[in-house]
Chains A and B, each alone.
Chain A
């Protein structure tokens, strides 16, 4: 990592407006630029598509719908929160790994296995008292996801198998595991297509609006907890130490291998919780088509948040609101949902290019851009010994 002098030259304090501009300029300009790119994509594609009337303001319709779908009214906001919830858990999972120098591409698989754990126990306890059923099913989801994270952690610690490879592979295995169980032992016998029973009492109670389940609150709590764990406990200190310098960690009496296993397990548990929150909070049962893009979106969320747990909440909210608004955008403007991906990518792109932006905007504040995360570290670091 680059060193930066703490001895920045003293300048007379700028006015409040100027200071606010220094802080807000980049996010604001990045958002505007991304929207601009999106508008260009929309206009350009209008020219390609035949058989539709050219509408020079289609982009406006689209953005208006996107915002309205995400924030226009209670239903929309709740829906945004529901979409945000698994992204918070997933983003925390990936960020947590980054902090220990591990790149967990396996959030995808851990999500599925976590949901699987939740549905197994949830269905079994469908008639049990709700508090018991909910807690047990949630725990099962965390444990199942954790187990799926434990495997690559254990393999890395024992044989040095690179976690990037093993987690990618386990993502595929998870899909098969899910299909085998949902079409096999978990299948409702009478159903014509593979589907599990409903989780009944294990379903998360609704706390806000029509669909806002308790997982939303759980996500906020989890973010706080992860922050506390990382920055206020000795375990967090050890994990961050191993991530930053495994040799020094070993020197200091920490046990990098054990921490690698623990971190991957915990990260897997968080990703499992993402799956659990979707299953118990939204779908309540599982079809064999149960799939997700949360795992990969989580990587982007963690990167955008620069692996900071609190930042993860904000980044997840951004991504979640786009997902929530995408439906209305498709209805009102007929814009394919993929535009959301384009927007997300351009936001990341302009943030990465923010040094250039700063130059263009003549901003001077020395600020570590998004470029500085532990992410790349994660690929380079090897466990010692």
Chain B
């Protein structure tokens, strides 16, 4: 590879005046962007700013209404992903583009298969190549594992390997670190630096400002489809970037105040539960959450948090152990019973569990109370009461929507999450269970939701907060449990816990590491 870092060289990628309109939205409004060879270029912006759209345009997944793309100074028309790949552009997508039922090797090779002859695949050669590729970048990966059975962190690695396999000159990574631990993130950063050193150009998208400051050579910030600024990491800081992104000053850290925990509300003893495939996912959890405190559970996604939470709220039958609420045994009670006992639950996947996207917003706001007064008399629903309360809820929680009668699917992600929060928070609660309450949201929405949670805590509700976002757990929790391999491996004080220590526990399970590893690999 030639030495081509000189500033006089043409940019490896240049996008000029890209405009992309969607019905009712201008996603990109004349965006220009230059990425030099060997540069890691960060793209920042709040949710819906148009980052992904811009990259989709580059990758041929979206056709721009205006503007042009130049590669090495040459204007090109990119007709589709196949074309983009052929031109050396590759993308790690914000949402996994993996086929769960296919193996790691099949996923990586898909579209660019190793062939034994014109028809059949050469599966041995495929395996060999994957293992070799993994080794080169420091991942020890089983090419035959089904992707659906991998943890999220490993799936992310597969996504990156997929892009690396295609020998990209320009590599786009859209929020690749959202589900990774700090250690895993470092690992990926190492790979990125190495690639950049080899002359590849990288576009890196993230909402985590400190990460951007750490890895990027240059930062472009966009807001509402327009470029609002360009920064060098050396000449900016987190507050500056946040303000640039949102257009106003943002409070980045939560003011959690002091908590006044009272008696225990949720008590869990020796809880065990299996995942959907029948494997032990929760392996004996003891846990206590007191009224008026936030108990945070930190852990890499896929260590049994979801199963734990589902076992608590009644969506999953525990295979052993007990759950009690305010001293009463509620093990195995139905979601309805738990709800009526004062347990609210904000699920991790709002599209799968939290909302019925094809239903009107108003119906979604009564999803857990539709059968009660005043929304129903006997079995007859009262649409007027539903609509009336929906209207006031929309106002109070500042849900941005043209009306209460539009389908929930037409709301933006942040507003959908607000709707779920509004529904679940809007009554007296014993216990509030939050699973990834701010996943994929921008700083403004996060701020809003965090405030609501603190308010609930202060009202005496016991809060169980599960998040893969380590910062969120550290900032919000009064106590922190680290979950690894289906067990709580440590409980720490939320105000004194050290980020690196928690990160290490999340990644390794600490003292129990050996035992847990043996158990997971079994």
Interface set of A (CB-CB < 8 Å, partner B): 1, 3-8, 232-235, 237, 240-241, 244-245, 247-255
Contacts and interface: CB of A to CB of B under 8 A. Distances in A.
Contacts, number: 82
Given A244-B359, A247-B352, A252 B379 contact: no
- Shortest 4 CB-CB contacts between residues of A and residues of B: A7-B24, A253-B336, A5-B23, A251-B353
B259 interface: no
A6 B410 CA distance: 8
Interface in B357-385: 357-359, 363, 367-368, 370-371, 376, 379-381, 383
B402 A253 contact: no
A306 to B, nearest CB: 13
B339 A253 contact: yes
B380 A7 contact: no
Given A7-B25, A232-B380, 20 more contacts: A1-B358, A3-B407, A3-B409, A3-B410, A6-B406, A7-B402, A8-B23, A232-B381, A233-B376, A234-B376, A237-B370, A244-B358, A247-B352, A250-B335, A251-B315, A251-B353, A251-B354, A252-B368, A253-B334, A255-B334
A244 B371 contact: no
Contact of B352 (A1, A7, A245): A245
Contacts of A249: 356
A251 B347 contact: yes
A251 B381 contact: no
A2 B48 CA distance: 19
A249 B354 CA distance: 9
A87 B55 CA distance: 52
Interface of B: 22-25, 315, 334-336, 339, 345, 347, 352-359, 363, 367-368, 370-371, 376, 379-381, 383, 402, 406-407, 409-410
B402 A6 contact: yes
* From A4, A5, A244, A251, residue with most partner B Cβ within 10 Å: A251
Nearest to B357: A245
Contact of B315 (A7, A233, A235, A250): A250
A363 to B, nearest CB: 17
Given A6-B402, A251-B335, A233 B381 contact: yes
28 contacts: A1-B358, A1-B409, A3-B407, A4-B410, A5-B23, A7-B24, A232-B380, A232-B381, A235-B379, A237-B363, A241-B356, A241-B359, A241-B367, A244-B359, A247-B352, A248-B356, A250-B315, A251-B335, A251-B345, A251-B347, A251-B353, A251-B354, A251-B367, A252-B335, A252-B368, A253-B336, A253-B339, A254-B336
Contacts of B358: 1, 244-245
B367 A248 contact: yes
Contact of A234 (B22, B354, B356, B371): B371
A5 B334 contact: no
Contacts of B371: 234
A234 B370 contact: yes
A253 B354 contact: no
A199 B242 CA distance: 80
B23 A247 contact: no
Contacts of B335: 250-253
A252 B367 CA distance: 6
Contacts of A4: 23, 410
Given A6-B402, A233-B380, A237-B370, A247 B353 contact: yes
Contacts of B356: 241, 244-245, 248-249
Contacts of A240: 359
Contacts of B357: 1, 244-245
Given A237-B363, A251-B347, A5 B381 contact: no
